[in-house]
Structure 1
Amino acid sequence: MKTFYGRANPTTGGLDWVEESEEYDYHQEIARSCYADMLHDRDRNEKYYQGIRAAVSRVKARGERVIVLDIGTGTGLLSMMAVTAGADFCYAVEVFTPMAKAAASIVKKNSFSDKIKVINKHSSEVTVGPDGDMQERANILVTELFDTELIGEGALPSYEHAHLHLMQEGCEAVPHRATIYAQLVESEHLWNWTQIRPVQVDGHTLLPPAAMGQCSGTPSVCDIQLSQVPQSAFTALGPLCTMFSVDFSKLVSSTPCSYSSRFVVQAGGRAQVVLSWWDLDMDPSGSIVCSMAPKWTYSEPKEYPWRDHWMQSVYFLPAERNVSEGDELSLTVFHDDYSLWYSLSDGVDKSSSRPCCTCQAHLVWTRPRFGELNDWQRTERYLRALRSILRPDSVCLAVSDGSLLPIFAHQLGAKKVFSLENSGMSKQVIEQFLEANSIKNGVQLLGIQAEQLTAADLEEEQISVLIGEPFFSTSLLPWHSLFFWHCRTALARLLQPGATILPCSATLYLLAVEFEDLWRIRAPCGTCESFDVSPMDEMVQQSLDFRESREAEPHHLWEYPCRALTKPHPVMTFDFQQCVPERPVNSQGILPLTGRGRCHGFALWMEYNLTEDVTVSMGLSKPVSEEGECVWSPHRKQGVYFLQTPWESSGDGRTVVSYNLTFDPNIGDIKMDFSITQP
């Protein structure tokens, strides 16, 4: 039986009908998850193995039969560790059906089927008894239910149910304990991700709506590789505070709760942001610790265990406040079943209301988008380009999602400005800006799609200037923003002859790179040179027995250091002065590997040519250094194409990469093929 489901195409704007059969192959879906990264996390694996062995020894020392419950087993690795450590039997619970099937296959392949039972259910649905999923309650609880926020995957209710219904009283737990830490900081860099700053436009000050400054923002955590945020980008106002701990060997409550930490302010400034991370104690004594602390907390940075499945958290206070050295304050953390949030007060804050966006901007714009709108250098490039093309008789139409460009065009003196806003919420956000700056009639917002626009909507005016950033909320990969090109094509009938298009074109760039760590998330376990030969390592290698995706995927590369092995190379140019072609566009060429190292794949990004002399890059924000250092724009995701097997480069330029890229305008995607020629 075959079924079809509709999927919006981010590049063409159309609806693609995708076929899904009963034999749907989930290998790519599994490959794109974080399982590979977890399996490559040697520090995590070793700490879990040590904790499991210690727990099994403690239970055996009591003369008990060892029964393990592994909730969220994934590939089955932790269950196999438990049996290897001497457990008598293990129940491995996994709710994700494709992963449960993979776990059962891996368990069988490793000859553990007689001691491990894979249960394809949510743990809350597991039953105990003669006819149940488990024959008896377990006395060791092994879990990996954690996310960057610790509890975001429902760890608390899962633990609570397990202790009440699936575990023996006085059981062991691996991990045994989790502790959450937090630090109050001032950071203009991070604060720019949650509030819009005023913008100076030729004598005008564009002010954000008052509602935005009073809004507590979105409740979702901002999880990032905090190690890549330079310490110069924030000032610690207080000490690192221990907020609370959870003992997983005892009954855990999922009831909403709060914890406060009293501290003395160490440096005056503006309290804006809370940085947070957590540790896992794998045993009761706390001698086996798996820490999520960022790299700059380590006295020896080489000891820092890189991981991407668990990062660090950034929380924005509901409002910034001035604090002085010597002030005594309370930092309070609240939690419900799935999330945390913080407040700062002079006393103990008993308020437990979860932050909620009331201005709608935090629902329309992502945090990188806030940062992009606050980037004054980027804004000045757009203003410079607009000044060069706008005339007093210009009739402008803007095509982007929630963009300030149409307001800029009005303030720079355009005769009329229209703006297409496909999203009702983004339309309301821009309306707030217009009202806050008393220019409600200066920009006419049209809540329709480009192909639906008529001359009547434009008051019978012809468009002389079409502008866009381009930014669209549905874009993931760099070329998804070519939706602007499709809109331009749909609007051709309404454009004046010789109308100005901004940006006038876009260029796709390609760069061969050696990643410091990101390569691990897609590398087969057998290629991870950090593993030694041991029973655990063999299990790890067997636990990633599926095919990998051969497509580019989006990543914020500023979080993932890499080194260039070639020069940035333009591979495709898209001319927005012309309509989208009907036939595919192909580009072939070669790139010499001029940097010495291991090529893990290719970074791809767009550079938009606003005018002939003004360009905005969505990739590299600085030229590549002689050593190959890359500095990436934090505002947009870049595309990454991972090679199945890394290529070695001697750096002499004789090793050559051949590329073959084809952009299909009908599906809005780019097919890629790379090969290597060595002397």
Structure 2
Amino acid sequence: MTGFCGRARLPVAGFDSAEASEEYDHHQEIARSRYADMLYDHDRNDKYYRGIRAAVARVRARGEKVIVLDIGAGTGLLSMMAVTAGADFCYAVEVFQPTAAAARCIVEKNGFADKIKIINKHSTEVTVGPGEDMETKANVLVTELFDTELIGEGALPSYEHAHRCLVREGCAAVPHRATVYAQLAESELLGSWARLRPIEVEGSRVLPPPAVADCSGVHSVCDIQLSQVSPRSFTALGPVLAMFTVDFSQPVSSAPRSYSSQFVARTGGRAQVVLSWWDLDMDPAGGIVCSVAPSWTYPRPETAPWRDHWMQSVYFLPVEREVAEGENLTLAVRHDDYSLWYGLGSRGRDAILSRPSCTCHAHLAWTRARFGELNDKVRTERYVSALRGVVKEDSVCVGVSDGSLLPVFAHLLGAKKVLSLDSLSMSKRAMEELLEANSLGGRVALPDIRPEQLTCQDLGGEQISLLIGEPYFCTSLLPWHSLYFWYCRSALADLLRPDAVIFPRSAALHVVVVEFRDLWRIRAPCVTCEGFDVTPMDEMIQKSMDLRESHEAEPHPLWEYPCRALSPSAAVVTFDFTRRVPRRPVVSRGSLALVRSGRCHGVAAWLEYRLSPDVTVSEGLIRPVDERGRCEWSRHRKQGVYFFPSAFESAGDGGDAAVFYEIKFEPASGDITMDFNIESG
């Protein structure tokens, strides 16, 4: 990319720069595994311990020797609970080698090596018999194989095999059963994540193509912290329904199966989404319940346990439709061995339960947050108002973003010639369908070329007078990956008129020191848990962080994770898109004063784009921080989070306490690295 203006291939948005060693990959997985979150989930741990004690007691009361099989053993915590509860022996099965190695250390360190055997295999590969992995079948089955969707980690096939090959008939199971709940709802917010809505611009109506409007979408679950979706953001059209129950103490089938529940609509509205969660009965009597229900279902929401390893689910109905108050409805769910999907029926008609499958390409190319971004009327108006000031009758406009409507807006505002460059073929195909549906196919060109391949011939012998971008790229993870737009601008430098307008003009990296209400748990040290020493796992998590995150941030949608600002937000680096990408690194140093008391967990970072002298768009904070430090974050993009190696207290008393930073942008790779140091007066 010498000079950033030649025809050399540009880096992809996302900037691949990770180490490729096997050790790095293993520790990368550990860092992302949320073991710290699970070990800090005291509600989960307490319910499991109580359930295990009860199961061991039931088997002991039958006069049997207690042999436990722990599938998905992780750190070995549940196995140690079982032995502490009186089990004679425990087989702990963990397929992931680094975690199995840590579990061996933890079990040995806690004095359980003679009663717990770590088996580093998938449970379906475990053998039983003299000299085999297990000497005998187990009569207590303990598992933690669940994800947000309950069955998404392969729980059903694992249970099916375990009952057939690894446990005795009539075994005690912890958990004993699981129940999946669902509620039909109307929600403009959640519904905007699944379908493109009509958009009004300059008196014209941009319609979604039929292929997108009628598409059932993808079947993958939308897992979110549903507790952060206010009940004011949706209307419940029916009661919470118990859709189906799985009894883990009996043989389990992984074969596809359907369930349905009938109810009467409590109010009229548009059926758009199904909100779903589950709970676990740890004992047969149902007296020990571990629930994943959102906080607003609790009489006292503040008492709801927080978790990130288990969240809640939103499912989008294949077809939205109006329902009337008092209407008899049937909500149906179907599952295969790994996923669920829902359908709605009424008046004796069965719900359609064919697996959702995207046929329009848009749902495969764009994230659900991207659909929400395209449907955001306020955001659209900000872009259109800024474009009005730069689009002229003789404008030769080139758009560089994925799945962007800005080139369409530029045409509607009167640009003479408009080209749109999409980096992803599926996204480009979806945009072609949108242009065709709005009779714009010959007015906005979508050449199948990369920015550095564009020539004067593609522009009809003219030069670019207006280069536009949101910027958005499908492969971006961190906020600054969208700086790919800057590289594209540099590659197109020779095709720009001397007076060409670059839109946006610049981007600024903003940072703020924050105290998280809950997110800190995913990176917290976990030296002990429920009386068991898990230091080896803590050391592995820390090593993972040292390898992957010592100078890097990680992406999180902070609207799902409440936090308080302990410092003012500050723009620490500005990227001037009117100039080419510099050859040398850009380094920014400074400090963030700690003006509020609280526990400093890390730094949040995001980009704000200046579209015009008067219009900016933030991908982070969308309103100024209030007096108490509360933050309101954009729902459309993920922000970057840099976690401090250890949290520290801020007095916020106006003293000299501050966080000093060094931010470095490397033009050769597009990476941004961050170093923070804390000094207290």
Query: CA separation in 1, counterparts of 2:153 and 2:569?
Result: 40
User: Which residue matches 2:504?
Assistant: 503
CA drift at 1:16: 5.1
Query: CA separation in 1, counterparts of 2:581 and 2:654?
Result: 36
Preserved contact between residue 182 and residue 274 of structure 2 (Cα < 8 Å): yes
Q: Which whole-Å deviations, capped at 9, do the CAs of 1:395-414 have from their partners, x for residues lacking one? A: 01110011111111111110
CA drift at 1:148: 0.4
CA drift at 1:182: 0.6
Matched, 1:380 2:374: no
Query: CA separation in 2, counterparts of 1:367 and 1:19?
Result: 30
Preserved contact between residue 185 and residue 275 of structure 1 (Cα < 8 Å): yes
User: Which residue matches 2:644?
Assistant: 643
CA drift at 1:277: 0.5
Preserved contact between residue 259 and residue 334 of structure 2 (Cα < 8 Å): yes
Q: Which whole-Å deviations, capped at 9, do the CAs of 1:479-506 have from their partners, x for residues lacking one? A: 1111111111111111111211001100
Query: CA separation in 2, counterparts of 1:582 and 1:114?
Result: 61
5+ residue gaps, structure 2: 1-8
Q: Secondary structure at the match of 1:321?
A: strand
CA drift at 1:74: 1.1
User: Which residue matches 2:4?
Assistant: none
CA drift at 1:132: 1.8
Distance 1:574 1:142, change over 3 A: same
1:352-367 alignment to 2 at 5 Å? 352-367=353-368
User: Which residue matches 2:667?
Assistant: 665
Distance 1:299 1:267, change over 3 A: same
User: Which residue matches 1:38?
Assistant: 38
User: Which residue matches 2:581?
Assistant: 580
Q: Secondary structure at the match of 2:515?
A: strand
Task: Single out whichever of 36-45 and 125-134 deviates more from structure 2.
Answer: 125-134
1:81-160 alignment to 2 at 5 Å? 81-160=81-160
Preserved contact between residue 12 and residue 667 of structure 1 (Cα < 8 Å): no
Query: CA separation in 2, counterparts of 1:407 and 1:17?
Result: 34
1:174 aligned partner, one-letter code: V
Distance 1:93 1:197, change over 3 A: same
CA drift at 1:460: 1.9
Q: Which whole-Å deviations, capped at 9, do the CAs of 1:500-520 have from their partners, x for residues lacking one? A: 100110000011111111111
CA drift at 1:22: 5.5
User: Which residue matches 1:70?
Assistant: 70
1:675 aligned partner, one-letter code: N
Query: CA separation in 1, counterparts of 2:22 and 2:591?
Result: 41
Q: Secondary structure at the match of 1:571?
A: strand
* Equivalent residue for 2:532, pick from 538, 543, 552: 538
Query: CA separation in 1, counterparts of 2:31 and 2:266?
Result: 46
Query: CA separation in 1, counterparts of 2:81 and 2:417?
Result: 68
1:408-557 alignment to 2 at 5 Å? 408-526=409-527, 536-540=530-534, 543-546=537-540, 547=542, 548=545, 549-550=549-550, 551-557=552-558
User: Which residue matches 1:5?
Assistant: none
* Equivalent residue for 1:675, pick from 661, 674, 677: 677
1:544 aligned partner, one-letter code: D
Query: CA separation in 2, counterparts of 1:598 and 1:286?
Result: 38
Q: Which whole-Å deviations, capped at 9, do the CAs of 1:255-276 have from their partners, x for residues lacking one? A: 1011111111111111111111
Query: CA separation in 1, counterparts of 2:648 and 2:355?
Result: 49
1:249-328 alignment to 2 at 5 Å? 249-328=249-328
Distance 1:588 1:11, change over 3 A: farther
Matched, 1:631 2:643: no
1:17-56 alignment to 2 at 5 Å? 20-21=20-21, 24=24, 26-56=26-56
Preserved contact between residue 507 and residue 572 of structure 1 (Cα < 8 Å): yes
Query: CA separation in 1, counterparts of 2:45 and 2:301?
Result: 20
Q: Which whole-Å deviations, capped at 9, do the CAs of 1:566-596 have from their partners, x for residues lacking one? A: 1111100000011111111000011110111
Distance 1:538 1:653, change over 3 A: farther
After TM superposition, the score normalised by the length of structure 2 is: 0.95
1:400 aligned partner, one-letter code: S
Distance 1:14 1:606, change over 3 A: closer
CA drift at 1:32: 2.1
Q: Secondary structure at the match of 1:545?
A: helix
Preserved contact between residue 254 and residue 337 of structure 1 (Cα < 8 Å): yes
Distance 1:96 1:192, change over 3 A: same
CA drift at 1:131: 3.2
Q: Secondary structure at the match of 1:382?
A: helix
Distance 1:17 1:617, change over 3 A: closer
User: Which residue matches 2:403?
Assistant: 402
Distance 1:11 1:42, change over 3 A: farther
Preserved contact between residue 39 and residue 540 of structure 1 (Cα < 8 Å): no
Preserved contact between residue 344 and residue 352 of structure 2 (Cα < 8 Å): no
Distance 1:168 1:37, change over 3 A: same
Q: Secondary structure at the match of 1:525?
A: coil
CA drift at 1:447: 1.8
Q: Secondary structure at the match of 1:195?
A: coil
CA drift at 1:541: 5.5
Preserved contact between residue 401 and residue 421 of structure 1 (Cα < 8 Å): yes
Query: CA separation in 1, counterparts of 2:643 and 2:327?
Result: 50
Query: CA separation in 2, counterparts of 1:17 and 1:222?
Result: 28
CA drift at 1:543: 4.2
After TM superposition, the score normalised by the length of structure 1 is: 0.95
Q: Secondary structure at the match of 1:389?
A: coil
User: Which residue matches 2:572?
Assistant: 571
1:159 aligned partner, one-letter code: Y
Distance 1:541 1:637, change over 3 A: same
Distance 1:671 1:567, change over 3 A: same
User: Which residue matches 1:4?
Assistant: none
Task: Single out whichever of 155-164 and 537-546 deviates more from structure 2.
Answer: 537-546
Query: CA separation in 2, counterparts of 1:18 and 1:620?
Result: 28
Task: Single out whichever of 259-268 and 17-26 deviates more from structure 2.
Answer: 17-26
Deviation beyond 4 Å, 4+ runs, structure 1: 9-19, 21-25, 540-543
1:117 aligned partner, one-letter code: K
Distance 1:257 1:606, change over 3 A: same
Q: Which whole-Å deviations, capped at 9, do the CAs of 1:47-106 have from their partners, x for residues lacking one? A: 111111111111111111111111111111111111111111111111112211221222
CA drift at 1:19: 5.3
CA drift at 1:23: 5.0
User: Which residue matches 1:329?
Assistant: 329
Q: Secondary structure at the match of 1:49?
A: helix
User: Which residue matches 1:592?
Assistant: 593
User: Which residue matches 1:393?
Assistant: 394
CA drift at 1:40: 0.8
Query: CA separation in 1, counterparts of 2:227 and 2:325?
Result: 26
User: Which residue matches 1:185?
Assistant: 185
Identity percentage of aligned residues: 66
Preserved contact between residue 12 and residue 486 of structure 1 (Cα < 8 Å): no
Distance 1:236 1:161, change over 3 A: same
